[in-house]
């Protein structure tokens, strides 16, 4: 009888002691009897995991509402690790989730309370930096410092949207490569004769590493959804289309925009003029290089904009020519192509319309990390 009476009393004191320690020191409250580890897949939600383990929606709701930091669990990232612990009665006991490669969250349940602890991983990782000073070329000068070609390729790909490596670099310009224990640089900084650019790495939910400025904005620019004000789309991107002039079925890996002769045609993104020429069936055509991987093509132009020349920089929305019917054409329209690594993509479906900004749950941490790197140099 006395023993039975002491058990709930003991649990009562254990609860308040655990809650107090958890709140003040952020310590774990209980050790789960059984743990279930998941790797987040496309379409997975915390609700689906809880349902799979037989945990009520009310527990999930209470846990998310218990602490503002818990709200990050409303958006799970593909490929990240999630662990849910159950006690001996198969009731929810704990949850651990790697928010990103630097930050994790741990939630323990004690009675009707939830204790949240967030931690930053790899806090003590030391950084080292190498400065490449341009004397002859990026590849040559990097080789003199025994910097591997993969790092040089990373530099070129990261800065390709902002720097023309053929014309912009000057003797004395510097590239600072900052690394930790990982393979990819955590930061790349360019100090040039006319501008400075600092980029910082971030690994997305698919495990891909890309680079962002100190505000968390992707270095890859957005593309306009269309390169002109058009009347209608006269021909879409198709694997097979009956050609009105050749009278045969051929692929049409572009979009044709019908518009009046003389309508201004704009560059759909920041870039560098690759070619302006008369090119057979395409007539007067402009090729624009965007970064390292993308090229846009504007064909059947009436004429080119004044001052357009090879290797000249153009801005998104800048006029590059005017609608015409040059080359093999049945009437005034713009033939527009978007190529990625040489492969033609459907411009109406290819997702290049938004400049990526880091998710809010990662943004604050990213900015702190970027500031820390800059301050360490």
Domain ranges of the chain: 2-120, 128-220+356-376, 232-345
Question: In 3D, which of 172, 213, 178, 176 has the Cα closest to residue 192?
Answer: 172
DSSP annotation of 324: B
Q: Please give the CATH architecture assigned to the domain spanning 2-120.
A: Roll (3.10)
At residue 63, the pLDDT reads: 92
At 246, the pLDDT band (50, 70, 90 cuts) reads low
- Confirm whether 2-120 and 232-345 share one CATH topology: no
At residue 24, the pLDDT reads: 34
At 29, the pLDDT band (50, 70, 90 cuts) reads very low
CB 304 within 8 A of CB 286: yes
How far apart CA 53 and CA 90 sit, in angstroms, is 8
> pLDDT digits over 271-292, tens only?
999 999 998 889 999 999 998 8
Check whether 2 has a pLDDT greater than 50. Answer: no
Question: In 3D, which of 299, 292, 300, 252 has the Cα closest to residue 272?
Answer: 292
> What average pLDDT is seen over the chain?
83
At 148, the pLDDT band (50, 70, 90 cuts) reads very high
Q: Which residue has the higher pLDDT, 248 or 145?
A: 145
Check whether 100 has a pLDDT greater than 90. Answer: no
Q: Which residue has the higher pLDDT, 365 or 62?
A: 62
DSSP annotation of 360: H
Does this model's pTM top 0.95? My answer is no
> pLDDT digits over 13-22, tens only?
443 444 444 4
At 27, the pLDDT band (50, 70, 90 cuts) reads very low
CB 40 within 8 A of CB 79: yes
At 25, the pLDDT band (50, 70, 90 cuts) reads very low
At 260, the pLDDT band (50, 70, 90 cuts) reads very high
DSSP 250-306: EEE-SEEEE--TT-EEE-SSSEEEEEEEE-GGG-EEEEEEETTTEEEEEEEEEEEPT
> pLDDT digits over 291-323, tens only?
888 999 999 999 999 989 998 889 889 999 999
Check whether 204 has a pLDDT greater than 70. Answer: no
> pLDDT digits over 43-95, tens only?
899 999 999 999 999 999 999 998 888 888 988 888 888 999 999 889 999 99
Superfamily of domain 232-345 in CATH is Glucose Permease (Domain IIA) (2.70.70.10)
The CATH number that domain 128-220+356-376 falls under is 3.10.450.350
How far apart CA 297 and CA 276 sit, in angstroms, is 10
* Mean pLDDT computed over 90-103: 85
At residue 3, the pLDDT reads: 35
């Amino acid at each position: 009888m006395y023993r039975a009476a002491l058990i709930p009393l003991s649990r009562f004191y254990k609860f308040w002691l655990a809650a107090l320690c958890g709140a003040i020191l952020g310590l774990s409250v209980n050790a789960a009897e059984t743990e279930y580890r998941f790797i987040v897949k496309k379409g997975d939600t915390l609700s689906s995991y809880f349902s799979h383990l037989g945990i009520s929606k009310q527990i999930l709701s209470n846990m998310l509402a218990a602490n503002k930091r818990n709200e990050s669990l409303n958006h799970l990232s593909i490929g990240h690790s999630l662990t849910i612990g159950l006690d001996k009665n198969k009731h929810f006991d704990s949850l651990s989730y790697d928010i990103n490669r630097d930050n994790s969250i741990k939630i323990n349940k004690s009675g009707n309370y939830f204790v949240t602890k967030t931690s930053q991983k790899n806090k003590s990782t030391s950084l080292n930096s190498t400065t490449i000073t341009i004397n002859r070329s990026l590849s040559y000068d990097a080789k003199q410092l025994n910097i591997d070609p993969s790092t040089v390729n990373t530099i070129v790909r990261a800065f390709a949207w902002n720097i023309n490596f053929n014309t912009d670099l000057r003797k004395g310009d510097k590239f600072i490569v900052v690394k930790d224990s990982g393979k990819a640089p955590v930061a790349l900084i360019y100090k040039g004769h006319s501008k400075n650019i600092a980029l910082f790495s971030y690994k997305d939910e698919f495990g891909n590493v890309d680079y962002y400025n100190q505000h968390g904005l992707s270095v890859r620019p957005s593309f306009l959804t269309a390169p002109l004000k058009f009347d209608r789309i006269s021909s879409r991107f198709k694997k097979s289309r009956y050609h009105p002039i050749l009278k045969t079925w051929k692929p049409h890996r572009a979009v044709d925009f019908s518009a009046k002769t003389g309508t201004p045609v704009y560059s759909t993104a920041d870039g560098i003029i690759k070619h302006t020429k008369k090119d057979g069936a395409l007539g007067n055509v402009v090729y624009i290089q965007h970064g390292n991987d993308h090229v846009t093509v504007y064909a059947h132009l009436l004429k080119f904009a004044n001052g357009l020349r090879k290797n000249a920089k153009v801005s998104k929305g800048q006029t590059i020519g005017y609608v015409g019917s040059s080359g093999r054409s049945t009437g005034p329209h713009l033939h527009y192509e978007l190529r990625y690594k040489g492969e033609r993509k459907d411009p109406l479906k290819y997702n290049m319309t938004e400049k990526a900004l880091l998710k809010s749950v990662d943004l604050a941490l990213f900015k702190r990390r970027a500031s820390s790197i800059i301050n360490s140099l």
